[in-house]
Structure 1
Amino acid sequence: MKIIIAGAGEVGFHLAKLLSYESQEITLIDTDRESLTYADTHLDIKVLKGDATSIAILKDARVEDSDLVIGVTAAETTNITFCAIAKQLGAKRTIARISNTEFITNKDEVGFTRFGIDELISPESLAASEIELLLNQSAFKDSYEFENGALTMVSLSLSRTASFVGKTVKEAAQLFSEFHFVPIAIQRFGTQYTIIPRGDTEFREGDNVVFITSKGGGNELCKMTGRTNDPIKDVMILGGSKIGYKTSRDLSKNHFNVKLIEKNKDVAFDLADRLDKVLVINGDGRNVELLDEENVNHMDAFIAVTGNSETNIMSCLVAKSKGVKKTIALVENMDYFELSQSIGIDTLINKKLLAANNIFRYIRRGEVIAMTKLNNMNAELLEFKVKRSSLVCNKKIKDIDFPRSAIIGGVIRGTEGFIALGDFKIQEGDYMVVCCLPKSIKEVEKLFL
């Protein structure tokens, strides 16, 4: 697949890096020579210095042969213009990164496809949505919804008191006559090795386990692991960034009590004018005395989304020491994900990863509705739509020749999600959620063509 990316910043470089691992033909365009030089020396890609909206530059990149063009520069107007021109010059699919979420809300009304833009993404909006989902699933470290919650991915670390530690997957399933969850990936404590579980796979203390749950499955998991999905009402947010603003706005609309701390006085006053249901405080959130004055110990959740990863991590650790149940930190360095469990923060989120996940589904074969890479695991979670021509159509689960390094997490039919076992028959129009290691992705894709 030939892919052109405009913007060699954080998101663009990360995308180019991930896509180059997949042996895709990547061309990266940017005006900044230093960013391009770094990308050129670290990745197996082609780089072009110049304005992404230049027709000459696009022709030099052979845009007429491109399967996908992605505009992820810092300027949304550049991204929109780049995609519109690329489409007119023959690009098959276009994706533009934007910061104005009104564009996404009103994309059908405005008709962006008429301009030549197939998809709009906002990393800040994706991060805000991820945070709200994590607050609604407070017992778990990570969460991802398919089809408005018909199926949900959740992850947690197993403590010694979890009722199925020491039991196999098959034995754990027998603890419930009707269970609404299935494990799809396991990472052993202290390792970077991802296991796709089978019936004889044993759960061990310290395992980081990813589950797919249908309705009721989250409560069953809480009961079996000794956790409580406590309702979260009072939230403190550190940082009035775009993510801080969007998260505060969305949470306050959904009846959360929100305090937002912003260091910059002018920004704080502006946020106070725009967020009438949020208490905005002008102060340095790194100041422990300020946090104490604002009753951080009475908060149900603390979310740090400043532009500094270290500030976010340290302030979350302070909040945790004050008894806050749920802490979420925005980080830029992907290496921090490996440390999240050991340093004591509940969840780390990363804009680059969220944006890449959202874009990655367009390079997969078959009709991929959604996908996410599992945090700190070498596995992907994909939602495929079953077509009449798909090899899985009209087959029972047990009769599908599925690779050992992949597993079916569940099936969505209509609006209902199912944990599909051996005798479940797949039908045209079903949505199947599949977890697979990189080596089995191509084999899985063939089943859904």
Structure 2
Amino acid sequence: MKVVICGAGQVGFGIAERLSAEDNDVAVVDFSPKLIQQITEILDVRGIVGHGAHPDVLVRAGIDEADMIIAATLYDEVNMVACQVAHSLFNVPTKIARIREQSYLQPHWRDLFSTDNMPIDVIISPEIEVGEMVLRRLELPGAFDTVSFADGEAVVAGVSCDENCPIVDTPLHQLTDLFPDLKAVVVGIYRDGHLFVPRSSDQMFVGDIAYFVAAKGQVRRTLAIFGHEEREANRVIISGGGNIGLYVAKELEQRQKGAKIKLIENDRDRAIKIADNLDRSVVLHGSSLDETLLLEADSPDADTFVALTNNDEVNVLSCVIARRQGVANTLALVNNAAYPDLARSLGISAHVNPRQITVSKILQHVRRGRIRGVHSIQNGLAEVIEAEALDTSPLVGKPLKEIGLSENMRIGAIFREGELIIPRGDTIVRAHDRVIIFAMQKAVRRVEQMFRVSIEFF
């Protein structure tokens, strides 16, 4: 597949890294010679210095033969025009744009991005995607990574195994005997910097991070089995009143009528503006690194402290301060890929990575085959993929134990006619089932092939 990526920043780099590793023909366009030099030195991609919306620059990138353009520059308008040029002049089949300004995304302007106006096939809004991830973490504070699949009927969650986890040192196959009616299965384990798909004889140890797939109605029970019975956050302190912080506060006001929300914003003008946009939240002006201000926000009585500023270091340090003042759960927004492990070592309960969330959303539309959803795990070491099984899929019609799946992938759930099925060895996948698979990066291409339409289908 030939892909042109506009923007060599964190998101553009992340997409280029994943696609080039899978032997796709990738060209990256950016106005910064420094960024282009960096990306071409590290990745096997072609780099073009220039404006991402200019036709002559896109031609140098090979747009006339491209299957897809991904416009992920810092500027919405450049992204939109790049997609328009790709459509109008070069008839590129798939056009994806990152758009951050919420005004463009208002429901009453939905026709703006139609084929007759500004033809963009997929719009990625990082603020909304990240905000929704934060809200899911607040709903399930025992998990540090959560995403929904199968129309919300299945949840994939990551959970830390600490000293209070009662099922450590227990072979996974025994968990099935201990909890026969539990609709959940462990699909991945992260241990000492290494992620792997566990076998039934494997067991979890203290310090591990386990990833499981569970029916939505049994997620809390599954977390309790892991020793996490934290309640949904009701008293929340938010640090940072940017687009993400404001979105989270507004949604909390609407979704949890009894929630008590305090928001800290360092910029006075911004604090006044967001105070006018919120109904029940208390907005405080100042730095979240100020211990006195955190106490003024009643941090010792808070359920969760959420740091959403645009500064990783401020987010991490303010979470440490809040935890020292008695906040049980803390969540930090971090862009630096090296910070998640540091955050965990400092006792921070969870983190969100905007780049990883945006990359996951884009990959959902890049993956070949009948792919309905994608979520990246541990900075791309693995992916959780939801795909629709076709009549020609090698998964269909045979018991799973006879198919011989790669040791680098595991089926976590099957969604069939509104029912979620946790697979066993004798489970048979039917055509049109939606299958949720945990796959190590080296197995992702194989997953795509299993769900592609073969020529015999026609």
Query: Structure 1 length normalisation: TM-score?
Result: 0.95
Partner of 1:193: 194
1:79 is aligned to: 79
Which stretch shifts more, 156-165 or 335-344?
A: 156-165
Conserved? CA contact 1:262–1:283, under 8 Å? yes
Deviation at 1:306, TM superposition (A): 0.9
Match for residue 160 of structure 1 among 160, 163, 186? 163
Structure 1 equivalent of residue 428 of structure 2: 425
User: Residues of 1 paired with 2:180 and 2:271: CA distance?
Assistant: 53
1:409 correspondence with 2:416: no
Shift of 1:447: 1.7
Tell me the alpha carbon deviations over residues 146-199 of structure 1, each in whole angstroms, 9 at most, x when there is no partner: 1342110111122234232221111121111212110000122xx122121121
Structure 1 equivalent of residue 185 of structure 2: 182
Gap change, CA 1:147 and 1:108, over 3 Å in 2? farther
Match of 2:41 in 1: 41
Indicate if the aligned counterparts of 1:193 and 1:377 stay in contact, CA closer than 8 A. Answer: no
Q: How many angstroms does 1:410 deviate by? A: 0.4
Kindly provide the amino acid, as one letter, of the partner of residue 81 in structure 2. Answer: T
Maintained 8 Å contact 1:194/1:377:
no
Match for residue 31 of structure 1? 31
What is the DSSP-based 3-state SS (H/G/I as helix, E as strand, rest coil) of the residue aligned with 2:178?
A: coil
1:318-333 map, 5 Å = 318-333=321-336
Q: Distance in 2 between matches of 1:148 and 1:299?
A: 32
- Could you tell me how far 1:214 is from its partner in structure 2? 0.9
**1:227 Cα deviation after fit:** 2.0
Per-residue deviation, residues 351-407 of structure 1 (Å, max 9, x unmatched): 111111111123322111111111257211111111222222233323323111110
CA distance in 2, matches of 1:428, 1:108: 38
Could you tell me how far 1:42 is from its partner in structure 2? Answer: 2.6
Residue pairs, 1:222-301, within 5 angstroms? 222-255=223-256, 256-301=259-304
Within the alignment, does 1:349 sit opposite 2:352 as a pair? yes
Give the Cα–Cα distance (whole angstroms) in 1 for the partners of residues 173 and 109 of structure 2.
47
Q: Secondary structure at the match of 1:334?
A: coil
8 A contact 2:237–2:297 mirrored in 1: no
Tell me the secondary structure at the aligned position of residue 285 of structure 1.
coil
The aligned residue for residue 131 of structure 2 is 128
1:25-72 CA-to-partner distances (Å, cap 9, x unmatched) read 211112222222222333221111222221112222221211111111
Consecutive unaligned residues of structure 2, counting only runs of 5 or more, are 453-458
Aligned length: 447
**2:182 aligned counterpart, secondary structure:** coil
Query: How far apart, in 1, do the equivalents of 2:323 and 2:303 lie?
Result: 10
Q: Once the two structures are aligned, what percentage of the paired residues are identical? A: 28
Question: Residue 455 of structure 2 aligns with which residue?
Answer: none
1:52 counterpart = 2:52: yes
5+ long unaligned stretches in structure 1: none
Aligned counterparts of 1:193 and 1:183: Cα–Cα separation in 2: 16
Equivalent-residue separation in structure 2 for 1:74 and 1:394 (angstroms): 47
Pairing 1:14–2:14 present = yes
Contact 1:406/1:440, CA 8 A, preserved across alignment: yes
Structure 2 counterpart SS, 1:443: helix
Q: CA 1:225/1:279 → structure 2, altered by over 3 Å: closer, same or farther? A: same
1:195-214 pair list within 5 angstroms: 195-214=196-215
CA contact under 8 A between 1:66 and 1:90: conserved in structure 2? no
Q: Does the residue aligned with 1:383 lie in a helix, a strand or coil?
A: strand
Conservation of the 8 A alpha-carbon contact between 1:361 and 1:371 = yes
Moved more, 260-269 or 59-68: 59-68
C-alpha distance after superposition, 1:319-375 (max 9, x if no partner): 111221221111121011222321111111111111111111233221111111112
Q: Report the alpha carbon displacement of residue 111 of structure 1 after superposing the two structures with TM.
A: 5.8
Contact 1:161 1:226 in 2 (8 A): yes
**Larger deviation, residues 5-14 vs 108-117:** 108-117
Distance 1:100 1:107, change over 3 A: farther
Distance in 2 (alpha carbons) for counterparts of 1:307 and 1:216? 35
Distance in 2 (alpha carbons) for counterparts of 1:376 and 1:78: 27
Measured in 1, the distance between the counterparts of 2:335 and 2:149 equals 26
Question: Structure 1's 174 and 103: CA in aligned 2 closer, same or farther, altered over 3 A?
Answer: farther
CA distance in 1, matches of 2:49, 2:204: 51
Aligned AA (1:4): V
Which range is displaced more, 178-187 or 253-262?
253-262
- Residue 20 of structure 1 deviates from its aligned partner by 2.4
Instruction: Name which of structure 1's ranges 364-373 and 306-315 shifts more when overlaid on structure 2.
Output: 364-373
Distance 1:137 1:341, change over 3 A: same
SS at match of 1:357: helix
Deviation of 1:100 (Å) = 2.8
Check the 8 A contact 2:388/2:451 in 1, yes or no: yes
Distance 1:43 1:376 in 2: 16
